[in-house]
Structure 1
Amino acid sequence: MKINSLFFVFVGVLVLSSCREQNKNDGEAVKQDDHEFTNDLINETSPYLLQHAHNPVDWKAWSDDAFKKAADENKLVVLSVGYSTCHWCHVMEEESFEDAEVAKLMNDKFVSIKVDREERPDLDMVYQTALQLVNGTGGWPMNAIIMPNGSPVFLGTYHEKENWKNILAKFSTEYEKNPDKMKEYATMLADGVQEVYEQPAKQMANAITPNKIENGIKQWSTMWDKDWGGNIGQQKFILPANLTMLLDYAVLQQNVEAKNHVLNTLDKVVQGGIYDHVDGGFFRYSTDDTWKVPHFEKMLYDNAQLVSLLSKAYKLTGNEVYKIRVSETLAFLKSEMRNEDGGYFSAMDADTNGEEGVYYVWKKQELEALLKDDFELFSLYFNIIDDQVWEEGNYVLNNTLPKNDFLKKTDLTAAEFEKKMASWKSVLYEARQKRQKPTKDYKILTSWNALLIDGLLEAYKAFGDDQYLDEAVSVFKYLNQYNYKNEQLVHSYTKDSKQKEVFLEDYAFLAKSAFSLFEVTLDADYLTVSKELMNAASEKYKSNSELFYYNVSNDLVPSIINTSDGVVPSANAIMAQNYLHIGHLEYNKGFLKKAEVMGSLITSDFENHAVSYGAWGTLLLEQAYPFYEIVIVGKDAEKLMNEIHKTFIVNSLIVGSSVESDISLFKDRYTEDDTFIYVCQDNTCKLPVKTVGDGFEQMNNFGYQGFK
């Protein structure tokens, strides 16, 4: 299939711009008053779609009616996919979609559809895949020209106004002159996309072995930046699922190189500009290879996963900076990203009034005026020096000087340094509160909030702070009340939301967080919810293979089997992890076999390209190496459980019950007067013990290396 050559037959020498990454509405519906134009998006609830409701372009939401209109009028469709905090999406809006000349061309010759990729990740996956087939890269805004049946004939990202006008003119003319050729190409490209998503189901099962995991990590290690952490590249994403898996592997196999890479990465990002040193929270990615200048969006999924990873890393290292970053990040999320009922928004914008990062950066003169006599010390620590300036005299707070080296240079004691740091942050925080804040995308996404529940629970395990557990329970209750309507889960909730779509990741992630709540609280009702969600997902998204569809297909959207990690873990990988853990808890051989077969289908992918399969790597570790069951039964189960959770333990299910229970791991083990710890591996259990230390000693006797 010669997609690329066919592509250029139609588009000539059109150049696809590189992927580039503003929100004008925060929580209130766009009003029709005092607007020259109003299109159908005024009836939507997505913040991103509402931002475009007063464009002169006659935008439609994705619907059968929109495509029927295109077919009835024999028009091509313009599909534009973006999200509310995407900077270049709104640059293109201002340049083209708010321009009367461009709008007339689009309205006369096309039916135009806007999609929020966070509401419809399935549509985004389909057309991003097509974009990558013809261009090798993807990104947002994603702008496509498609047939009335949904098949694409052109795909690109950001386009300047004149370039976009030329694209529209070329394709509308070509469709009028050569519709059959265009249909032929569109069919071929659509077939190519379908082939991509059918491929995982066709893969052969491979034995899950330590050797294959070692091979995958060895190949992956060639990509590691040994100086700055992360993967080598011009831009850097933190990718918590990958680092979590590597940390597990490092402890399980006592691999110093992997451990150093993860900790070096974390040390660099928690001190770098990708972290907001004033408000707390992490930005989406670094625009350079040293974590200095971020793209200034803050996303819920990044921060949720980093809370989890840093909490685990703290248990391993005792590094107080990790603990501080977790506390600051969760404080930021609760202050800025939480609605009054307890759900968490999806994102906070990079821009304020069209200027990227203006809320977050500082001018030297401003810092001098605010910090006065402390400016010299502050500038030494945060690189406020001439050769570190970013744009237009602005600085991003970015620390590259280790704390101990800073103390030696300044003769400060550690206590004096901490006092100064608290004072600096307080002064800058108060100054920043006087600025206009970036706006937020107020959608409550089920899958991303589920990730936050997991992050809060990991923080509770590591630090024992009840507020983290209470908040995890609160978020779960919110999702149950608002995102689980009439016993039907939805992916996205806003007030008066009409969205009914739901995806595998929503079921898989929420089932995982429900199981995690069961592990921590010992409340079996959470286990019941987890199993109900797993059973519903396995029925709703079943395919002809052992893997699951990501979505429910229809005439316009193909079925997708997606296995690789993106910015969130693979939903199929999380389904398999859930099967494994519930299987061990209940001695459910069917669930254990399901997890094994799912893992075996991805083993070769991990071996050949581990960087894209971190969540699967976590599963494969639990299958290729010994897996332990630590069971606490008795009236003091919760107390002993909390003690165990403070230690970094991998490849283990840690569960307990303070009451008599028929769950397989607890059955016939309860006594009223005492509490016992049972350590089991491969259906073999040691004699029950009463102390955590004795339980760990039994794991050592089984051959567990993680305590070294």
Structure 2
Amino acid sequence: MKINSLFFVFIGILVLSSCKNQNKNQAEGVVQESHEFTNDLINETSPYLLQHAHNPVDWKPWSDDAFKKAAEEDKLVVLSVGYSTCHWCHVMEEESFEDAEVAKLMNEKFVNIKVDREERPDLDMVYQTALQLVNGSGGWPMNAIIMPNGSPVFLGTYHEKENWKSILTKFSTEYEKNPEKMKEYATMLADGVQEVYEQPTKQMANTITPNKIESGITKWSTMWDKDWGGNIGEEKFILPANLTMLLDYAVLQQNANAKNHVLNTLDKVIQGGIYDHVDGGFFRYSTDNTWHVPHFEKMLYDNAQLLSLLSKAYKLTGNEVYKIKVSETFKFLKTEMRNKGGGYFSAMDADTEGEEGVYYVWKKTELESLLADDFTMFSKYFNIYDEKVWEDGNFVLHNTFSKSGFLKESGLNEVEFDNKLSNWKSILYKARQEREKPSKDYKVLTSWNALLIDGLLESYKAFGNDEYLDEAVSVFNYLRQHNFANGELVHSFTKDSKQKEVFLEDYAFLAKSAFTLFEVTLNTDYLNVSKELMHTASEKFKSTSDLYYYNVSNELVPKIINTSDGVVPSANAIMAQNYFHLGHLEYNKEFLKKAELMGGLITSDFEEHAVSYGAWGNLLLGQAYPFYEMVVVGEDAKALMNEIHKTFIVNSIVVGSTVESDISLFKDRFSIDDTFIYVCQNNTCKLPVKTVSDGFGQMKAFGYQGFK
């Protein structure tokens, strides 16, 4: 694969493969047991690393000391990267890393390093890029053999025991016989990786135009699955950042094809087995192209982003099903993924006692026993037919009926159906609670919790439910209390955590969340936090270009400029969005210019590969099409803003103040006698009005066409 094409499909690395966790921790403690072997990972706090602390392999955490040892002993390094809810990571652990024969070979010939990719996404990003350079694809577990200077000479994913032994023997022998030849290859591969991450800085900035956005989406549309939604492929990932941008574009341009694709995708997803119809919440991806059988791990980042997307879709359509799925997903997250202090865990495992999905699937006989006379109707709604069996006689609940379609099919009225569905779920939920639950990765990741804050705030805007706002504030306060160390933000927190690393996504995502909290609450303390985080990020991660490094300097790992979305939005794109919104709030020309320069560097990438640049697409929409500022000032600003937030509006910021303020959009507009709405576009403002409908009328007068 050519390096320039690799850059654009890096998303493929981030959504491939999957894996397992045998960690018994359900909260923030470690079960103490007697073990034959104990290695240096016992001193770590990552659930994934602790999972391997009693392997006979002499694992070490990533550190300068580990590479110093490799250099002094003139040994290659085995680098194994995974995460605690990774199924195939655990399979390889059982087959190879718990095997005495394999461990002996690894300990004698190599220095062995284990990395939790969720703790160190920077390391994972670098070596996954190298893996895709040589293999064309990536995934987890990622197992590499690298030089003492960090340069890789072999990269792969899961390997069966005998194959892994052969690889170890081959490379250790070759290193002993031809070390110079191996060094040359490692240098070449390291240079290739560096070129990938330097490419964005070498691109010419382009003018951001509607035609280029149209072109990018037109090319992307050739990938759309018109029947089942999502992108065409044997497996399917939801990728909420892309769908969010596409929904905004559809409304802005009144594009029915784009709108229908997003809504069809959402409808198929929430009907499919990738949604947990009993507990609520979404699984990581579908192993087929109809969303039927998922890989049964639940990740915080997916569910957080889907709260936001479903809430926006509800505002656009009024579809009550979207509202229900938001409520059920939030209930799942708060019940299963929240720690006692208010932070949210990163993931819930796919496996229970080594078997994937057993907590979630059902035998036909079990369903017949639990549902009795209702089984026939239940089986029709959730496709419990012999030809739909998954494996080992197990069924994954999914439906292919719309609600209206099933009412016609069943002869029930809406109230009768709702009561039955609620009763079915209650019965199965109670039955499932008797099963052993999958374990959880109890790390609290700053960036993923920031995504949750955004999702909760979008849900609050759509539904006006104070519980969503209160929880968003609670999560933000938790991060402020726990995910700062010595005044610096950290990426991951666990009890007694030692991690000091932090990444651009942590600052960018949390700054965005703080700004949105300011929008919703009108509390300028959140605005000040957002600006502080942006300032720190701009200094900490600055590069020689207008983009930002993903990570800080490290002798063993090159600094990375990554611009494409993966399962989470591009951190550089969110930085640019933050500059754009702050720039409009404060009429800060420097911030607006910075956002324009960053967007200009990515415009051609979006035009060619929009599927990988959804977060950038949101920025480019605001820069290529008219952008609106809706400002509410006065004693009743909060109430009017809550009314505005219930409407789907794109290419706009909605901000307000109940007090006199020197912030540019509020300055000289406050009146103690009344509350006014100001609508502005391109440095031009209409006369103030007092009602939301009049404010929307002024947007229409400016040419806005997005209202239903």
- TM-score, scaled relative to structure 1: 0.97
Instruction: Tell me whether 1:125 sits opposite 2:125 in the alignment.
Output: yes
Alignment match, 1:8: none
What is the aligned partner in structure 2 of residue 339 from structure 1? Answer: 339
Return the alpha-carbon distance in structure 1 between the equivalents of residues 83 and 2 of structure 2: 32
* Pairing of 1:197-346 with structure 2 (within 5 A): 197-346=197-346
In the other structure, the counterpart of 2:514 is 514
- Which residue is 1:626 aligned to? 626
CA contact (8 A) 2:228 2:265 kept: yes
Q: Are the equivalent residues in 1 in contact too, given 2:24–2:31 (CA < 8 A)?
A: no
1:7 alignment counterpart: none
1:252–1:706 contact (8 Å) kept in structure 2:
yes
Amino acid across the alignment from 1:246: L
User: SS at the partner of 1:662?
Assistant: coil
Q: For residues 422 and 171 of structure 1, what CA distance do their matches in structure 2 show?
A: 58
Corresponding position: 1:609 with 2:609: yes
Task: Note the C-alpha offset of 1:409.
Answer: 1.5
Aligned to 1:168: 168
Q: Distance in 1 between matches of 2:46 and 2:33?
A: 19
User: Which amino acid in 1 is paired with 2:24?
Assistant: N
SS at the partner of 1:81? Answer: strand
After superposition, the C-alpha distances for 1:156-195 in whole angstroms (9 at most, x for unaligned) are 0000000000000000000000000000000110010001
**Contact persistence 1:281–1:332 (CA under 8 A):** yes
Q: Report whether the alignment pairs 1:151 with 2:151.
A: yes
Identify the residue that residue 639 of structure 1 maps to in structure 2.
Answer: 639
- 2:20 maps to a residue whose letter is Q
Opposite residue 362 of structure 1, the aligned amino acid is W
Deviation digits for residues 394-441 of structure 1 (CA, Å, limit 9, x no counterpart): 000000122222111111001100000000000000000000000000
CA contact (8 A) 1:32 1:38 kept: no
1:193 is aligned to 193
The 5 A counterparts of 1:393-432 are 393-432=393-432
Structure 1, 27-36 or 68-77: larger mean CA deviation: 27-36
Please say if 1:648 is aligned against 2:648. yes
Q: Is the 8 A contact 1:25 1:47 kept in 2?
A: no
Measure the CA separation in 1 of the matches of 2:28 and 2:173.
Answer: 41
- Residues 645, 529 of structure 1: alpha-carbon distance in 2 compared, 3 angstrom cutoff: same
Structure 1 residues 50 and 73, CA gap change in structure 2 (3 angstroms): same
Contact 1:19 1:158 in 2 (8 A): no
Instruction: State the match for 1:477 in structure 2.
Output: 477
Corresponding position of 2:444: 444
Deviation for aligned residue 1:20:
4.5
Q: Indicate if the aligned counterparts of 1:543 and 1:549 stay in contact, CA closer than 8 A.
A: yes
Instruction: Give the 3-state SS of the residue equivalent to 1:542 in structure 2.
Output: coil
Distance 1:405 1:54, change over 3 A: same
1:279 alignment partner, SS class: coil
- Distance change in 2, residues 1:47/1:279 (3 Å): same
Distance 2:306 2:78 in 1: 37
**Alignment-derived partner of residue 138 in structure 1:** 138
Contact 1:29 1:45 in 2 (8 A): no
1:34 positional shift: 1.4
Q: How does 1:84-123 map to 2 (within 5 A)?
A: 84-123=84-123
1:20–1:158 contact (8 Å) kept in structure 2: no
Distance 1:329 1:667 in 2: 40
Note the C-alpha offset of 1:31: 5.7
Matched, 1:25 2:24: yes
Q: Is residue 342–residue 474 contact of structure 1 (8 Å, CA) maintained in 2?
A: yes
Structure 1 residues 28 and 596, CA, compared in 2 at 3 Å: closer, same or farther? closer
Equivalent residue for 2:6? none
1:678-689 map, 5 Å: 678-689=678-689
Runs of 4+ with >6 A deviation: none
**What is the CA–CA distance in structure 2 between the aligned matches of 1:308 and 1:653, rounded to whole Å?**
16
Q: Distance in 2 between matches of 1:692 and 1:19?
A: 48
CA contact (8 A) 1:96 1:102 kept: yes
* Paired positions, count: 694
The answer to whether the 8 Å contact 2:28/2:442 transfers is no
> What's the secondary structure of 1:546's corresponding residue?
coil
CA distance in 2, matches of 1:410, 1:588: 59
Q: 1:19 Cα deviation (Å)? A: 3.9
What is the CA–CA distance in structure 2 between the aligned matches of 1:289 and 1:596, rounded to whole Å?
38
**How far is the alpha carbon of 1:485 from its aligned partner?**
2.2
Preserved CA contact (<8 Å) 1:247 1:258: yes
CA shift for structure 1 position 598: 0.2
Q: Tell me how far apart the structure 2 counterparts of residues 496 and 530 of structure 1 sit (CA, whole Å).
A: 27
CA contact (8 A) 2:28 2:494 kept: no
Q: Within the alignment, does 1:705 sit opposite 2:705 as a pair?
A: yes
The code of the aligned residue for 1:43 comes to: N
Residue pair 1:30, 1:42 contacting (<8 A) in 2 also:
no
Rounded Cα–Cα distance in structure 2 between residues aligned with 1:459 and 1:608: 33
Amino acid at match of 1:372: A
Between the aligned partners of 2:669 and 2:133, the Cα distance in structure 1 is 57
CA distance in 2, matches of 1:190, 1:30: 38
CA–CA distance in structure 2, aligned partners of residues 323 and 627 of structure 1: 28
Distance in 1 separating the partners of 2:410 and 2:550 = 55
Match of 1:530, SS state, is helix
Find the counterpart in structure 2 of residue 59 from structure 1: 59
1:595 aligns with 2:595: yes
What's the counterpart of residue 83 of structure 2? 83
Distance in 1, Cα, partners of 2:418 & 2:608: 46
Deviation, 1:363, is: 0.3
**For each residue in 1:190-249, what CA deviation from the matched residue of structure 2 results, as whole angstroms up to 9, or x when unmatched?**
010001001111110000000000000000000000000000000000000000000000
Q: Deviations over 1:491-544 (max 9, x none)?
A: 000000000000000000000000000000000000000000000000000000
TM-score by length of 2: 0.97
Cα displacement string for residues 114-161 of structure 1 (whole angstroms, at most 9, x for unaligned residues): 000000000000000000000000000000000000000000000000
Question: CA RMSD, aligned part only?
Answer: 1.0
Structure-1 residue corresponding to 2:7 = none
Cα distance, 1:553 vs. partner? 1.8
Is the partner of 1:497 in helix, strand or coil? coil
Cα distance in 1 for partners of 2:328, 2:401 equals 21
Which secondary structure does the structure 2 equivalent of 1:655 belong to? Answer: strand
Q: Secondary structure at the match of 1:155?
A: strand
User: Helix, strand or coil: the match of 2:341?
Assistant: coil
Shift in Å at residue 486 of structure 1? 2.1
Instruction: Return the offset for 1:88.
Output: 0.1
Shift of 1:554: 1.2
Structure 1 residues 2 and 679: CA distance shift in structure 2, 3 A: closer
SS of structure 1 residue aligned to 2:20:
coil
Q: Offset of 1:352 from its aligned partner?
A: 0.1
Q: Which letter does structure 1 place at the counterpart of 2:553?
A: S
Q: Flag structure 1 segments of 5+ consecutive residues without an equivalent.
A: 4-17
Per-residue CA deviations over 1:551-579 (Å, capped at 9, x if unaligned) read: 00211011000000000000000000000
Aligned partners of 1:241 and 1:305 also within 8 Å: yes
Whether the 8 Å CA contact 2:19–2:83 is kept in 1: the answer is no
Higher mean C-alpha deviation, range 323-332 or range 399-408: 399-408
Shift of 1:343: 0.1
Q: Secondary structure of the equivalent of 1:145?
A: strand
Q: Which residue of 2 aligns with 1:9?
A: none
In 1, are the aligned partners of 2:81 and 2:124 still within 8 Å (CA)?
yes
Identical pairs, percent: 82
Aligned 1:466-505 pairs, distance under 5 A: 466-505=466-505
Secondary structure at the aligned position of 1:316 is classed as helix
Match of 1:541 in 2: 541
SS in 2 for 1:552: coil
The CA distance in 1 between the partners of 2:525 and 2:267, in whole Å, is: 39
Paired residues of 1:630 and 1:653 also in contact (CA < 8 A): yes
Distance 1:364 1:390 in 2: 12
Distance of 2:398 and 2:695 partners within structure 1: 43
Partner of 1:631, secondary structure, is strand
Q: Distance in 2 between matches of 1:231 and 1:632?
A: 40
Distance 1:140 1:114 in 2: 13
The separation in 1 between residues aligned to 2:569 and 2:193, in whole angstroms, is 21
For the residues of structure 1 that align with 2:252 and 2:484, how far apart are their CA atoms?
38
On the 8 A contact 1:519/1:654 being kept in 2, the answer is: yes
Taking the aligned partners of 2:424 and 2:656, their CA distance within structure 1 comes to: 44
